[in-house]
Structure 1
Amino acid sequence: METGSHTTKAQFALFLCLTINFTGQSFLLVVLPPLGRLLGFSDIQTGAILSISALLLMASAPVWGYLSERIGRRPILLTALAGAAITAAAFSAIVSLRLAGSLSALLTLGLFMSVRTAQSIASSGLLPAAQAYMADITTPAQRAGGMGVLGSAIGLGAILGAALAWKIAPTDPAWAFAIIAVLAVIALASLLLFANEPVRGAHNISLDARLPLARIWPLLLITVVSISAYSILQQVIALRLQDALGFTVEESISRGGAALMATAIAMIAVQACAIRLFRWDPARLLGVGAVLAVVSMLICSMVNSYVEIFGTLVLLGIGLGLMLPGNLASLSLRTGAGAQGKAAGINVVAQGLGQAIGPLSGAALHRISPQVPFVAATILLTIACVVAICTWRSTKRMTGLIEPQSI
């Protein structure tokens, strides 16, 4: 186990790395749909880029997780950050050359697909390695707090990515990609300076190593459908503003980014403050959050002004801010101590599946009507809500499995 000073520095490095990585991911998800049109891509081609890359991330993450057990956490983290820096710089160059007329639309599409593929494969090891690293440097009593640091980093990255899309991408998307590349280099330096390879000993080994799929599959289903719904929203929000409300490309990027940033801020605020204040058990967090998410998305599918869309997305952030931590905590509590890593790895696959389903289906449904993707997201969240309520009820029948706690 690391000393207190070394642990704090390592946690800071992990926080920075995840923040920067998810800044880049969030930025690309927000910007690429309208930017793709500017570069000469069809909506389906743009959705295919995001969906195929999500499938690659899903397939490669468990491999990186296995490698982190064989060669260590730090090499995986360094590889992921180096890949993030190089690919962001490549995106900047491609966009700049295309907008200058030096590249054809077809060549730009091929280059974008290739770079995004490399980015997905390289960066997919960051989250499983970071989670494993955090488990190595924290005691069981510190584990929830340590994982909370990682969750906060992901949320902050979503905000920063949306902010870049809002403030910089409408006028100079190539410069925004360059900023992400520089930030990735800074995060890489923090890893080199502050995150030594953690010492792993006998405390990492447990006899309770079987994965209880019969107990956790409903929670994995919730992960798939909720991430699918949120990915649909990220894919089509700017397109809806452009096609249904008549915004320009620049306005749709800016205001779509602002709305998604507000959603992420609401999620972080709930996770940082409301959850600790309420002190609800994880199953209750999951159930209440799922109900709020369904109601907000249903309203969002019916409203016809930017202000109304913005408000319902803030409510969605509140719902997801309760729902997602409740789901992760429930997943952990239903899994034995020796299978936490296995459960986390499978959950990453479930997240990747949701991220693959969302963009392509969102783009396809948007061709029918700008409102249809939001109706589909409502249906997916309704499935999550039903499963969450059933999980809540079943949890009450399990004696001693889940106790109220602060997350």
Structure 2
Amino acid sequence: MSQTSKAQIALFLSLTVFTTGQSFLLVVLPPLGRRLGFSDLHIGGILSLSALLIMASAPAWGYLSERIGRRPVLLAALAGAMLGSVGFGAIVHFRLSGTLSVFLALVLIAVVRAAQTLVTSGILPAAQAYMADVTPPAQRANGMATLGVAIGVGAILGAALAWRVAGANPVMAFAIIAILAAVALSSILWLAKEPIRAASTAISDTRLPLGRIWPFLAITLASISAYSILQQVTALRLQDTLGFTIEESISRGGAALMATALAMIVVQACAVRVFGWTSARLLGVGAITAVIAMLICTLVTTYSAIFATLILLGIGLGLMLTGNLASLSLWTGGGAQGKAAGVNVLAQGLGQAIGPIAGASLHRISPEAPFSAATVLLAIACLVAISAWRSAAANQL
């Protein structure tokens, strides 16, 4: 096995574990927060605050990865993921046992989440830049699809933990995530050497071509905002509209989001390679599919219909996000991959900040309101994607 293949395996595992923790928190914290005595807005505020911290720190990590290398940033991020999960498990355990008050538990969760976010925000820009370092332009979409598959697998595992473990034993679920993070950290240590370009190149003075890449950053912002709204309120919609209990809403909400992530994985792992589409076409077709699915999901009124439309949404997002990430990398060019990845994560962080607080606020109006907002955001992303598709066709990218 080549060194590049070993490194890609380590990257795949690291992003999978990171996304497992992120997905688990987004699915579980809203209903678990109620069990711990927190309000929906408290949890939405914590998740939004952590997303804002991603915005502040991810570009710095992207720049730092250009200076000290991708590997040290990945190691630090995985260590933060492991320690943060241990902290969450301890807080939940002591709150459920009555040792911690509601206020103290809320403060500790906010602090641990903030610290974890500041450290782990480096993993996405470092992984994306690493992949750009080791894949030629012709293989860039496939390389970014590999990262997308890892993110999808992590989303499935996070939702599966919520579905099968967290309802009955949330502390055990956090322990599992901490163990997985330790395994991923070991894989980077043993399998991933520093890419030659990053190791041998001094700080790049290449400026970001923001005039060219802004559409892809806007698509990231809109699509992640919509998806984080969905993750925030799906379980709450099942509880408040369909009358599910807290445990049922966690379980069935986790199952639906797991199916969404599975659809994304299948598309990224198979369809992207089978179709052989350009990154621009992946982006355009995926955006159109995603907005149609989200519109239907807003209107349906049964769990089975919600479940089915979320699968269609996963197909659209799988195409859309892969095409967008590859397009961003290709339009950035050489010399600024880490910086572009950091700014893209900033856009993701802003989307993750908007999603939870917007979802919690709109849910107070009606359970369907957050889904309507997500539809509007995806429609905006669709329009920008079509424009970028036409521009790419004109430039033959």
Flag whether TM exceeds 0.5 (same fold).
yes
Higher deviation after alignment, 212-221 or 157-166: 212-221
| One-letter amino acid of the structure 2 residue matched with residue 255 of structure 1 | R
| One-letter amino acid of the structure 2 residue matched with residue 108 of structure 1 | A
CA drift at 1:388: 1.6
What does residue 388 of structure 1 align with? 385
- Aligned with 2:16 (options 11, 15, 19): 19
- Give the alignment of 1:25-64 within 5 angstroms: 25-64=22-61
What does residue 328 of structure 1 align with? 325
The alpha-carbon distance between structure 1 residues 55 and 324, as it changes in their structure 2 partners (threshold 3 A), is: same
The alpha-carbon distance between structure 1 residues 207 and 47, as it changes in their structure 2 partners (threshold 3 A), is: closer
What does residue 123 of structure 2 align with? 126
What does residue 101 of structure 1 align with? 98
Rounded Cα–Cα distance in structure 2 between residues aligned with 1:310 and 1:272: 22
The alpha-carbon distance between structure 1 residues 277 and 206, as it changes in their structure 2 partners (threshold 3 A), is: farther
Rounded Cα–Cα distance in structure 1 between residues aligned with 2:14 and 2:385: 32
What does residue 348 of structure 2 align with? 351
Contact 1:283 1:326 in 2 (8 A): yes
Contact 2:63 2:342 in 1 (8 A): no
Contact 1:52 1:356 in 2 (8 A): yes
What TM-score, normalized to structure 2? 0.95
CA drift at 1:343: 2.2
CA drift at 1:286: 1.7
What does residue 212 of structure 2 align with? 215
| One-letter amino acid of the structure 2 residue matched with residue 148 of structure 1 | A
| One-letter amino acid of the structure 2 residue matched with residue 59 of structure 1 | A
What does residue 156 of structure 2 align with? 159
What does residue 319 of structure 1 align with? 316
Map Cα deviations across residues 40-70 of structure 1 (whole Å, 9 max, x no partner): 1111110000000011012111112222233
| One-letter amino acid of the structure 2 residue matched with residue 102 of structure 1 | T
- Give secondary structure in 2 for the equivalent of 1:106: helix
CA drift at 1:81: 1.1
What does residue 169 of structure 1 align with? 166
| One-letter amino acid of the structure 2 residue matched with residue 65 of structure 1 | G
What does residue 115 of structure 1 align with? 112
Rounded Cα–Cα distance in structure 1 between residues aligned with 2:160 and 2:233: 17
Map Cα deviations across residues 185-239 of structure 1 (whole Å, 9 max, x no partner): 1112222222233433798689993422222212211110111000000000000
Map Cα deviations across residues 237-282 of structure 1 (whole Å, 9 max, x no partner): 0000000110000000000000000000101111122222222222
Rounded Cα–Cα distance in structure 2 between residues aligned with 1:202 and 1:114: 34
Pairs aligned (count): 397
Rounded Cα–Cα distance in structure 1 between residues aligned with 2:246 and 2:275: 41
What does residue 147 of structure 1 align with? 144
Contact 2:228 2:356 in 1 (8 A): yes
Rounded Cα–Cα distance in structure 2 between residues aligned with 1:143 and 1:315: 25
- Give the alignment of 1:186-225 within 5 angstroms: 186-200=183-197, 209-225=206-222
CA drift at 1:341: 2.9
Higher deviation after alignment, 343-352 or 329-338: 329-338
Higher deviation after alignment, 278-287 or 29-38: 278-287
Map Cα deviations across residues 130-182 of structure 1 (whole Å, 9 max, x no partner): 22333444455554444333222111111110110110011011110011011
* Higher relative contact order (Cα pairs below 8 Å, separated by 6+ residues): 2
The alpha-carbon distance between structure 1 residues 144 and 311, as it changes in their structure 2 partners (threshold 3 A), is: closer
| One-letter amino acid of the structure 2 residue matched with residue 283 of structure 1 | A
Aligned-residue sequence identity (percent) comes to: 70
Rounded Cα–Cα distance in structure 2 between residues aligned with 1:329 and 1:139: 12
Contact 1:210 1:336 in 2 (8 A): no
- Give secondary structure in 1 for the equivalent of 2:196: coil
- Give the alignment of 1:213-252 within 5 angstroms: 213-252=210-249
Contact 1:218 1:391 in 2 (8 A): yes
Structure 1: stretches of 5+ with no match in the other structure: 403-407
- Aligned with 1:303 (options 300, 308, 312): 300
Higher deviation after alignment, 384-393 or 134-143: 134-143
Rounded Cα–Cα distance in structure 2 between residues aligned with 1:330 and 1:18: 20
- Give secondary structure in 2 for the equivalent of 1:168: helix
Higher deviation after alignment, 336-345 or 75-84: 336-345
| One-letter amino acid of the structure 1 residue matched with residue 149 of structure 2 | S
What does residue 279 of structure 1 align with? 276
Higher deviation after alignment, 164-173 or 198-207: 198-207
Rounded Cα–Cα distance in structure 2 between residues aligned with 1:30 and 1:71: 35
- Give secondary structure in 2 for the equivalent of 1:337: coil
Rounded Cα–Cα distance in structure 2 between residues aligned with 1:168 and 1:197: 37
The alpha-carbon distance between structure 1 residues 42 and 126, as it changes in their structure 2 partners (threshold 3 A), is: same
Rounded Cα–Cα distance in structure 2 between residues aligned with 1:61 and 1:158: 20
The alpha-carbon distance between structure 1 residues 285 and 13, as it changes in their structure 2 partners (threshold 3 A), is: closer
**What is the RMSD of the two structures over their aligned residues, measured on CA atoms?**
2.0
Rounded Cα–Cα distance in structure 1 between residues aligned with 2:278 and 2:138: 17
CA drift at 1:329: 2.2
Structure 2: stretches of 5+ with no match in the other structure: none
CA drift at 1:351: 0.9
What does residue 405 of structure 1 align with? none
What does residue 285 of structure 2 align with? 288
| One-letter amino acid of the structure 2 residue matched with residue 233 of structure 1 | L
